[in-house]
Amino acid sequence: MSILVNNEWKIIQDGFSKEENRFFESLMSSGNGRMGLRGNHEEDYSGDSLKGTYVAGVYYPDKTRVGWWKNGYPEYFAKVLNAIDFIGIRVFINGEVVDLAKAKFTNYKRELDMKESVLRRSFTFISADGSEFDIQAERFVSYASPDVAAIRYSVSSKSKDAEISFLPFLDGDVKNEDANYNEKFWDYVSSKATEESSYVTMKTRKTEFTVSAAFTWNVIGADVVTKSAVNENNGEYVGVKIGTKVSKGATVTLEKYVSVVSDRYYEANKIEEVALKNAKNAKENGYSKLLEEHIAKWAAIWHMGDITIEGDVLAQQGIRFNIYHLNCTYSGDDPRLNIGPKGFTGEKYGGSTYWDTEAYCLYFYLGTQQPEIARSLLVYRHNQLDKAIENAQKLGVKGALYPMVTMNGEECHNEWEITFEEIHRNAAITYAIKNYTDYTGDESYLATKGIDVLVQTSRYWASRANYNKMKDVYMILGVTGPNEYENNVNNNWYTNRMAKWSLGYTVESLKLMKEKYADLYKAAFERLGLTDAEVAQFADTSSKMYLPEDKELGIFLQQDGYLDKEQILVSELDKNELPLNKKWSWDRILRSCFIKQADVLQGMWFLNDQYTKDQKIRNFDFYEPRTVHESSLSPCVYSIIAAEIGREEKAYELYLRTARLDLDNYNKDTDDGLHITSMAGTWMSIVHGFGGMRIKDGELCLAPFKPASWKDYSFRLVYRGRLLKVNVSEQGTTLLLEEGEAIDIVLFDKKVSLKPGIEFKS
Enumerate the active-site residues: 484
Give the relative orientation of helices 425-440 and 493-516 as an angle to the nearest 10 degrees.
40
Does an H or E element contain 190, and which? strand 186-193
Q: How far apart are CA 666 and CA 630, in angstroms?
A: 9
18 close to 48: Cβ distance less than 8 angstroms: yes
The HSE-up count of residue 304 (CA atoms within 13 Å, CB side) is: 19
47 close to 21: Cβ distance less than 8 angstroms: yes
Q: How far apart are CA 337 and CA 376, in angstroms?
A: 9
List Cβ neighbours of 118 (8 Å cut-off, separation of 6 or more): 112, 138, 139, 140, 291, 295
Closest CA to 492 of 478, 474, 471: 478
Give per-residue burial for 548-564: e unless 16+ CB within 10 Å, then b.
Answer: beeeeeebbbbbbebee
- Phi then psi for residue 3, to 5 deg, are -125, 130
User: What residues pair up with 79 in beta bridges, in sequence order?
Assistant: 60
231 close to 171: Cβ distance less than 8 angstroms: no
Q: How far apart are CA 677 and CA 326, in angstroms?
A: 8
List Cβ neighbours of 150 (8 Å cut-off, separation of 6 or more): 139, 140, 142, 255, 256, 257, 258, 282, 287, 290, 291
Closest CA to 57 of 265, 355, 258: 265
Closest CA to 306 of 297, 316, 296: 316
Strand 743-747 to strand 699-702: parallel, antiparallel, or no bridges (unpaired)? Answer: parallel
Question: Quick one: how far is CA 374 from the chain centroid?
Answer: 14
Strand 694-696 to strand 555-556: parallel, antiparallel, or no bridges (unpaired)? Answer: unpaired
List Cβ neighbours of 473 (8 Å cut-off, separation of 6 or more): 467, 544, 545, 546
Q: How far apart are CA 621 and CA 626, in angstroms?
A: 9
| Residue 662, helix vs strand vs coil | coil
Give the largest CA-CA distance in the chain: 92
List Cβ neighbours of 585 (8 Å cut-off, separation of 6 or more): none
Q: How far apart are CA 277 and CA 274, in angstroms?
A: 5
227 close to 214: Cβ distance less than 8 angstroms: no
Q: How far apart are CA 19 and CA 639, in angstroms?
A: 33
List Cβ neighbours of 22 (8 Å cut-off, separation of 6 or more): 48, 49, 50, 671, 672
From first CA to last CA, the distance across the chain in angstroms is 48
Does an H or E element contain 139, and which? strand 132-141
353 close to 337: Cβ distance less than 8 angstroms: no
User: What residues pair up with 550 in beta bridges, in sequence order?
Assistant: 555
User: What residues pair up with 717 in beta bridges, in sequence order?
Assistant: 724
Q: How far apart are CA 358 and CA 749, in angstroms?
A: 28
The HSE-up count of residue 463 (CA atoms within 13 Å, CB side) is: 17
List Cβ neighbours of 561 (8 Å cut-off, separation of 6 or more): 489, 490
Amino acid letter for position 542? S
CA angle 607, 611, 617 (to 5 degrees): 115
